[in-house]
Amino acid sequence: MTDQLQEILSTLKKNKMRTTLTGLSVSWGIFILIVLLGAGNGLRNGVMQNFSSRAVNRVNLWPGTTSMPHKGLKSERNLYFTEDELDFIRKEVEESRLITPRFNTSQTISYGNEYGSYQVRGVMPNYFDIEKLTIAPEEGRFINQLDINQSNKVIVLDKKVADLLFKEESSLGKYVKVGQLMFKVVGVNSKKEQWGGSNTYIPFSTAQTIFNPNRKFYQITFTVDGLVTEEENDRFNESLRALMGHRLNFNPEDQQALWVYNAQTEYVETMKIFGGITFLVTIIGILTLIAGIVGVSNIMLVSVKERTREIGIRKAIGATPSSILKTIILESIFITTVFGYIGLILGIGLTETVNFFMEQAANAQAVSDEPQMSIFSNPTVNVGYALFATLVLIISGVIAGYLPARKAVKVKPIEAMRQE
């Protein structure tokens, strides 16, 4: 094996420039393949990170204004939700699981000499899991069912609100003034809003009693199970619109009467788009790699032609066709593997470097007040792609060397030795 390696290196040294230029075409193909796959992964991970910041299987409902007459009722009716709609969805929508209403009001919240105007959200305990809030054990708790049942005057603050009101002081167990009433702080949420802003959270029953005496509200969010494909989600959306149309007395085809956002539908559509992007990126990378393989095959053909006399002498002194075939193919594999790994290392190095700087930027954002919205994250390739690239390189070497090797095997010793 050592002799064969020395022979391969000796042959390649005779044509350093040609070997290098051809090898670089293979390196470039692998480099482009890795970079494109890394970029595709970065975009995919960024979007997935945004999806994972909330329950992917959530459905949001907002009542609107009817644009069509329905069963003797005129158009331009302003619709709204009551707590009866919550019970209706729990009972009639089989796919529903976690559910929460949301009532929003802007209130002045103060502690001592510190105050500010913040969004106060009246929600139920399930809101915590649906929105994937983050409360560390030492930072208290979220609203629980006892708070709902007893309409407790308790409040959970976003960390930014707690920092502004309490500075270096712990907020847990302290009382803040919300409007004209005192609320006890029971928890601090450290998750940042993607779009910026700061919120506070109180029991829905408390919000209804104090801030919403007419009991009307305008958002319901719930999660669903069992919906996987785009078709299943489309059927669910139609069925849900029909159910709510019957419940609220509007035409299910009236898109203005009820706004439905099914995150699962968007998720499935996005995954289909990324599947297409990954396929396209792979094709571009493979085509670039094929160009390199063709270059290797060409150099091997030229190499065989230049060594016709040498091959003829070898056959004359007893070299078997299989040994000649093996030598030529090994030369080809050597070129594609060595230069291919150069491209692989450079490609991975570039993606890791980009990832390093992006992590630094993400860490800086984590300690700032900027909204956490990501469109590009962790643009790296995993070990599976590296193993796949290795296999591609070996197969490429065999393919690139096979035709030249076949030509070398067919050389007749007498005709070969006549050539200068």
DSSP string across 221-254: EEEE-S--SHHHHHHHHHHHHHHHHHHHT--TT-
Averaged pLDDT score across all residues of the chain: 84
Arithmetic mean of pLDDT, 231-239: 94
* Residue 362 is assigned to a structural domain of this protein: yes
Locate all alpha helices (DSSP H) within 78-151, ordered by sequence. Answer: 83-92, 127-131, 145-150
204 contacts 101 by C-beta, under 8 angstroms: yes
Q: Assess whether pLDDT exceeds 90 at residue 288.
A: no
**What values do phi and psi take at 298, rounded to 5?**
-65, -45
pLDDT of res. 12: 67
* Residue 238 is assigned to a structural domain of this protein: no
CB count, 10 Å around CB of 171? Answer: 23
Of 216, 243, 276, the residue at which a domain comes to its end is: 216
Arithmetic mean of pLDDT, 61-76: 94
Query: Does residue 337 sit in the same domain as residue 209?
Result: no
CB count, 10 Å around CB of 294? Answer: 14
* Residue 232 is assigned to a structural domain of this protein: no
78-111 pLDDT, tens digit per residue, is 999 999 999 999 999 999 999 999 999 999 999 9
Task: Name which residue leads in pLDDT, 327 or 212.
Answer: 212
Q: Assess whether pLDDT exceeds 70 at residue 64.
A: yes
* Residue 68 is assigned to a structural domain of this protein: no
Query: Does residue 292 sit in the same domain as residue 405?
Result: yes
Query: Does residue 130 sit in the same domain as residue 47?
Result: no
pLDDT of res. 194: 56
pLDDT of res. 186: 98
209-224 pLDDT, tens digit per residue, is 999 999 999 999 999 9
Point out which residues pair with 63 in neighbouring strands.
258
Q: How confident is the model at residue 364 (pLDDT cuts 50, 70, 90)?
A: low
* Residue 87 is assigned to a structural domain of this protein: no
Arithmetic mean of pLDDT, 350-374: 66
pLDDT of res. 416: 61
Compute the half-sphere exposure of residue 181: CA atoms within 13 Å on the CB side of its CA: 14
Rg, the chain, Cα only: 34
Q: Assess whether pLDDT exceeds 70 at residue 172.
A: yes
If one counts the domains in the chain, the total is 2
**CA atoms of 45 and 351, how far apart (whole Å):** 14
Query: Does residue 393 sit in the same domain as residue 283?
Result: yes
* Residue 69 is assigned to a structural domain of this protein: no
pLDDT of res. 393: 65
Q: Which residues contact 15 (CB under 8 A, 6 or more apart)?
A: 299, 303
Arithmetic mean of pLDDT, 383-387: 65
Of 192, 216, 240, the residue at which a domain comes to its end is: 216
Query: Does residue 407 sit in the same domain as residue 272?
Result: yes
Q: Assess whether pLDDT exceeds 80 at residue 403.
A: no
* Residue 13 is assigned to a structural domain of this protein: yes
* Residue 58 is assigned to a structural domain of this protein: no
Query: Does residue 44 sit in the same domain as residue 146?
Result: no
Query: Does residue 23 sit in the same domain as residue 108?
Result: no
Query: Does residue 299 sit in the same domain as residue 413?
Result: yes
Task: Name which residue leads in pLDDT, 166 or 355.
Answer: 166
Of 182, 216, 250, the residue at which a domain comes to its end is: 216
Q: Can you give the residue range of the structural domain that contains 20? A: 2-52+268-418
Specify the residue for token string 């197969």: 395
Query: Does residue 407 sit in the same domain as residue 298?
Result: yes
Query: Does residue 314 sit in the same domain as residue 378?
Result: yes
Buried b / exposed e over 347-376, threshold 16 CB at 10 Å, is bbeebeebbeebeeeeeeeeeeeeebebeb
pLDDT of res. 249: 95
CB count, 10 Å around CB of 234? Answer: 14
Query: Does residue 156 sit in the same domain as residue 282?
Result: no
pLDDT of res. 366: 52
**CA atoms of 393 and 333, how far apart (whole Å):** 7
Query: Does residue 107 sit in the same domain as residue 46?
Result: no
Point out which residues pair with 156 in neighbouring strands.
187, 201
12-40 pLDDT, tens digit per residue, is 676 677 677 777 877 887 788 788 878 77
126-149 pLDDT, tens digit per residue, is 999 999 999 999 999 999 999 999
Task: Name which residue leads in pLDDT, 366 or 70.
Answer: 70
pLDDT of res. 356: 78
